[in-house]
Amino acid sequence: MAEKEKIFPEREKRVVYGSGNKKTGKRTPPPREKKPRRTGGKRRLPLRRSAALTIAAVILILIYILVHKNGTAVFVAEETVGILEGRSYKAEQIIQTVEGQLESIVGTKVKLNQEITTKGVHISKKNQKDVCTMEHLLPKIRNLVTYKAEAAVVMVDNARAVVLPNSAKAEEVLRQVQTDLLPENGAPEDAKLSWVEDVQIVEELVESSELMEVDEAVSFLETKTEATQPYTIQTGDALYLIAIEFNTSIERLNELNPDSNLIQGIRVGQVITVPVQKPRISVKSIVTEEQISVEPKTTETRYDDSKPAGYQRVVQQGRAGQKKSVIQITSINGVVTEEQEISKEIITEPLPEIIVKGTQ
């Protein structure tokens, strides 16, 4: 009991913390401390906090102004070629524009060799000098890039000769060369024209530096180079005369004929190799003509055992006939190289001349 009295003090010694209601006997809580009322409708921030937020906002605005990407840098390979204002420019758009302009210039489809890329940048005083318009940038890009072009290549004996932008220009070149190599009055209307060499036009993708203008290609194909051809020794030929005729030297003729000792002498009917100057391509013209010509008379000899030796008498006077021949004439670059009779029709039969000779 003593311990209980220490824990719970006596009634008269207890502290009263509020007045009670005498009727109900309930205790009333102690009065609370009144807080001052707020003035105004909004809550005010402390001055230091407001200033810090203002400074932070200013810093963010300055950072945005300083690093905001408001331009587009354009690169050809890894080289910067200019800066465009704004961010609406795409590399694909620039590539299509440049290729389109080049195609209108060269007259065929092209594909750029270098890669064109773009990158967002901030335009500042430091790079302001590189800012330009698209109109100023495109010519600069055209001068920097190289490209492959769809081209028409004229092949001569399976070797590339000239390169033109398209097949139309290649055919124009061949027509011009053909006209230049034929005689001034041209070939007959019924002439069959072809190339001596194997000449073809093939489509290839080539470097832009290989493209040629029409006049340049014509000049190249018509430029004469040394070639060789066979020559049959004729009666009256001499080695020095042959050298003069073909504008060469005796030493050069010996070089071209290593198996023949030409200095020791030549013989009629011998075939040797001689040098000639000829264009890179040559025009062959084949013309068929009808000709009326003389069919020569023939001579028939008869022997008579009853007549002494030394006896000779024309018993039938011969007479030439007449024939209509179809002649095929072949010319190379306007020079006739062959005439061949491909058919004939006898108009008047020739009369043979008969001669009688004695044999005693």
Q: How many beta carbons lie within 10 A of that of residue 94, not counting itself?
A: 22
Strands annotated E in the chain: 71-76, 79-85, 110-112, 116-121, 147-156, 159-164, 192-195, 199-207, 224-232, 271-279, 283-295, 299-304, 312-316, 321-332, 335-348, 353-358
pLDDT band at 200 (very low <50, low <70, confident <90, very high): very high
Retrieve residue 59's tokens.
């810093």
Evaluate if residue 9 carries a pLDDT over 70.
no
- Mean pLDDT of all residues in 91-97: 94
pLDDT the model gives residue 138: 95
Evaluate if residue 112 carries a pLDDT over 70.
yes
- Candidate from 64-78, 80-94, 345-359 with smallest mean pLDDT: 64-78
Give the phi and the psi of residue 169 in degrees, each rounded to 5.
-70, -35
Separation of alpha carbons 335 and 182, rounded Å: 9
Give the phi and the psi of residue 62 in degrees, each rounded to 5.
-65, -40
- Mean pLDDT of all residues in 234-250: 91
What are the pLDDT digits (tens) for 20-76?
Answer: 555 555 555 656 655 555 555 555 556 777 777 777 666 666 555 555 688 999 999
Sign of CA dihedral 207, 208, 213, 216: negative
List of domains in the chain: 71-145 (no CATH), 150-222 (no CATH), 225-279 (3.10.350.10), 286-358 (2.20.230.10)
| Separation in Å, CA 268 to CA 183, 254, 265, 271, 339 | 32, 17, 10, 9, 22
Percent of the chain residues topping a pLDDT of 70: 83
Evaluate if residue 8 carries a pLDDT over 90.
no
What are the pLDDT digits (tens) for 275-330?
Answer: 988 899 999 999 998 989 898 999 999 998 888 888 999 999 999 999 999 999 99
pLDDT the model gives residue 166: 92
Kindly provide the b/e burial profile for residues 163-177, where b requires at least 16 CB atoms within 10 angstroms of the residue's own CB.
bbbbeebbeebbebb
The per-residue pLDDT of the chain, averaged, comes to 85
- Mean pLDDT of all residues in 249-258: 92
